[in-house]
Amino acid sequence: MDKDICLATCVDKQRVARVLQVLPQQKLLHGAAEVFKLLADPNRLRLLHALAQEEMCVCDLAELVDTSASAVSHQLRLLRTARLVKYRRAGKMVYYRLDDEHVDRLLQEGLRHAEEG
């Protein structure tokens, strides 16, 4: 018998109703799930952590993670679509950075949680 499940069925309808009132809309939950899917890849986390330190170009990031610029560019495109990173063009160079402070906080909290585990 499982010790981590209820042994009797007893729904607290008031509790469920309270939580339903503050539960985010499905569209918002879906968007957050997509962000967490992207954050589930260690290489993407390395890229994001690097960009939390300072803005970098694709070539620098490819050197950092020891992969091709094409592979890094693909990952950055995914991260950009999810609004986790943004870029600026300077002549022939394109520099990436985190989109905003929320991304940095997500990274820091994730690392803190992993350290405590």
Q: Which class would CATH give 13-116? A: mainly alpha
Q: Is the pLDDT of residue 103 over 80?
A: yes
| Region for 113 from its dihedrals, namely left if φ exceeds 0, alpha if ψ lies in -120 to 50, beta otherwise | alpha
Q: How many CB atoms lie within 10 A of CB 89?
A: 8
Number of other residues whose CB lies within 10 A of the CB of residue 96: 24
Taking the domains of the chain in order of start, what are their residue ranges?
13-116
pLDDT digits (tens, 9 = 90+) for 11-44: 999 999 999 999 999 999 999 999 999 999 999 9
List, in order, residues 6 or more apart from 76 with CB less than 8 Å away.
47, 58, 61, 85, 87, 96
pLDDT band per the 50, 70, 90 thresholds, residue 52: very high
Look at residues 79, 81, 57 and name the one whose alpha carbon lies nearest to residue 69: 57
pTM (two decimals): 0.85
